[in-house]
A and B are shown apart, each in its own frame.
Chain A
Amino acid sequence: MSCRSGRLQQSRDAGEFTRLTPEEHLDQPGSLAIQTLALRKVFGTKVAVSNLSLTVRRGEVFGFLGPNGAGKSTSIKMLLGLVKPSSGQAFVLGVPSDDIDVRAKIGFLPEDFRFYTWLTASELLKLHGRLGGMPASLLRERVPALLDLVGLSAHREKRLRDFSKGMLQRIGLAQALIHEPELIFLDEPTSGLDPMGRRLVRDVIRVQRDRGATVFLNSHILSEIEITCDRVVFIKEGEVVASRDLRAFPDAEVGVVARARNLSTQTIAGLSQWSTSARLDGERLTLTTHSTSVLPDILRYLTASGSDIFEFTPQRLSLEDLFLKIMGEDRGL
């Protein structure tokens, strides 16, 4: 979550960049990179996405979380115009998602990237650049740069049929970025990658964010989402059930572990005005609150009630804890 200060936004007229913060983005017309309104998709009798309404601000790295079958991939496909919504509306970069021209500003890395295996890495990037409308002169610069970025310079003339899964994922990432898109969809970008590859993806995302691009990230690796994303939403059965701003630590849900003596049952019960759960195990008190802002009140309350506090440590819930809390435990086991 580095580099919160300045963002870059491309001026339509001059083709130059001006620095804008995310908050400034919100004041601009068309400041949303993505907006969906009651988006729904039904395949036969199966409801894949029931009622998806979400917004993604320009310039943010956005995490899209949910269990298997929650409708994440279908939602992304609707945003990319690959799947037609049954009802509802979807806008990307201020225009309907089925607009052809806006795709010149969008990059997409599909889950488990596959392409013509007879192409070399260089040929693949040139083809995608040409399909994206890039002139040959620009491609001559961009192709080597992108191969270098994803660590495949030494394999530029190797055919995709000789690539490992991780190398395919890297070249897939490069094709998504070849035209310097304003909005990038990454569907499980670290799938099949080794730790170096995962680090690379994180670095690439950071570079894209610093460039001013919006990144829409779908990943099951929550620890990476936590490191990379500015904001996440959780979807379940095709509907947004929660969202969290990962930058806003002070207001985030937080757990507290305290070591205390002389805690009465009434005192524990009284914590319910701030705490969603409180449990005493010997001298160890664990509780959960919705906001770190109430922690001073809790501490004052415990002291006023005559308890001796030896330790009082806020412990922010990990994204995985939050995910399990929101989604519920897997009932399949």
Chain B
Amino acid sequence: MGAWIMAGVTFREAGRKKILWTAVLAGSAFLALFGTGMHFQLKDITRHSLPPFVRYQLEAAMLQVGFYAVDLLAVVMTILTSVDTLSGEMASGTIQAIATKPISRWQILLGKWMGFAGMVAAYVAAMFGGVTTVGYFIGGVLPHHTLSGALLVFLECLLVLTVTFVCGTRFSTLTNGVIVLGLHGLAFIGGWIEQIGAMTDSPRLVTVGVVSSLIMPTESIWRRASFEMQSSFTRSLQFSPFSNASAPSVAMLGYAVVYLLVALVVAIYLFQQRDL
């Protein structure tokens, strides 16, 4: 019960933050820009009288650009809205009035986590819905396995959220933000290194990329999401932010889920041990 109360108040709190509405505005601006770009792309394609198959694939590739931007927006929004929820409340003493109520620390942390997870789910759903709608009504294309893609991006955000919670039990808000964004950057670079390694048939580069994915599996999850949503033709383009010269395996997704659960348990443990 305590966890649900905390989830509710956290969801409402997240909704009161300017950063969320900034992200919503940025997302809306992005959708408008995306729709405009797709509209003009379609006009140019029509003028050049490309074959329908090529035309469809180019529109589908444009759709992937949209999902890539949504992924980035969702991850950044997740970090910025949740980065001070533990460290900030511990620093201000706000948490003391809550932690002295008859609810366990794990309920406080899990409730906050669920509140942010709900907010992120709504954001990802809205943005995926927006991109899919624009793609269908303007470009006439639909992604493959949209739901799988959206769920994987949601999983990626949950992972980022959980790592932010782990660091929030020990570090200040600023340090926490630097660490989590740094880890996400590491995963991003590692993902590219792995792609280049797969293209150039360099096992050592692939290993470096895999290790970075093991440290922070966020980029792997995005690449798997992208893989799920692409047609076989787009996949065969081999090298772009949305192609998958080395698509993460289902085992890697399993690892990401285990990573998330372990991180959540660690966050709860650290929060329970901590003096407030």
Residues of A within 8 A of B (CB): 43, 77, 80-84, 100-104, 106, 108, 110-116, 118, 127-128, 130-133, 172, 175
Contact = CB atoms under 8 A, between A and B. Distances in A.
A114 B92 contact: yes
B2 A112 contact: no
9 contacts: A81-B99, A82-B275, A84-B273, A103-B102, A108-B100, A110-B96, A115-B97, A116-B94, A127-B5
B235 to A, nearest CB: 46
Q: What interface size band does chain B fall in?
A: 20 to 34
B100 A116 contact: no
B101 interface: yes
Given A77-B275, A118-B13, A118-B16, A113 B100 contact: no
Contacts of B215: none
B5 A131 contact: yes
A130 B97 contact: no
Interface string B94-118: 1011111111100000000000000
A103 B100 contact: yes
A114 B101 contact: no
Contacts of A127: 5, 9
B276 interface: yes
Given A43-B275, A100-B104, A175-B97, 15 more contacts: A83-B275, A102-B102, A103-B101, A108-B96, A111-B93, A112-B93, A115-B97, A118-B12, A118-B13, A118-B16, A127-B9, A128-B101, A131-B5, A131-B101, A131-B103
B5 A82 contact: no
B102 to A, nearest CB: 4
Nearest to A102: B102
Interface in B260-276: 273, 275-276
Contacts of A81: 99-100
Nearest to B15: A118
A130 B102 contact: no
B94 A115 contact: yes
Contacts of B94: 114-116
A82 B102 contact: no
A131 B98 CA distance: 8
Contact of B96 (A82, A101, A133): A82
Contacts of A80: 96, 100
